[in-house]
Amino acid sequence: MKCPFCSHTDTPVVETRMSEDGGLIRRRRQCGGCDKRFTTYEKPDVTFPTIVKKDGRRIEFEHEKLLASMNLALRKRPVSTDQVAGALERIEEKLLATGQREIPSSRLGELVMRELKKLDKVAYIRFASVYRSFEDIDEFKSLVDEVQR
């Protein structure tokens, strides 16, 4: 790391701290040339797979879009924000663990449904009814029957 003051390349780390949420590492460095101190921040650079829609379009994975979708299904349901955050984290970990550059949107939908089923049965049914585009009441009824077993 170059010193921002004198451009010297010898800048050893003198102190390292983790942020409260664990998402960043703060490092204090001291220049070997001018002895000035400065701070750098380190965070992981994570690339999620591209989502391939049913019509063939490719879109970037968006954490906020997934959160909004889950929150819509969970609207007025007794599920804490910590539980939702945990479910999102598990979904994102599974996406990264695939090691694939692209995944079909249907795979993402299945991951979401699996997590919603664990969190809240009503939210699961809400999401599934929209996601699977139910054509008639019998499809809806069979899903409710499946959840009740």
The model's pTM is 0.65
Helix (H, G, I), strand (E, B) or coil at 75: coil
The CB-side HSE value for 120 (13 A sphere, CA atoms) comes to 19
For the chain, domain boundaries: 1-45, 50-133
What's the CATH number for 1-45?
2.20.25
Structure tokens at 2: 């170059």
Q: Span 13-17, mean pLDDT? A: 94
What percent of the chain is predicted at pLDDT more than 70?
A: 97
pLDDT value for 135: 72
Per-residue confidence (pLDDT) for residue 142, from 0 to 100? 78
CA-atom Rg of the chain in angstroms: 23
CB 28 within 8 A of CB 13: yes
pLDDT at 140: 67
Nearest to 126 by CA among 111, 143, 106: 143
Provide the pLDDT for residue 7: 95
> Does the pLDDT at position 11 exceed 90?
yes
8 Å CB contact between 120 and 78: yes
User: pLDDT digits over 58-102, tens only?
Assistant: 999 999 999 999 999 999 999 999 999 999 999 999 999 988 999
pLDDT above 90 (res 34): yes
Roughly what angle, to the nearest 10 degrees, separates helices 63-73 and 81-98? Answer: 130
| Whole-number Cα distances in Å, 147 to 7, 55, 116, 120 | 63, 30, 12, 10
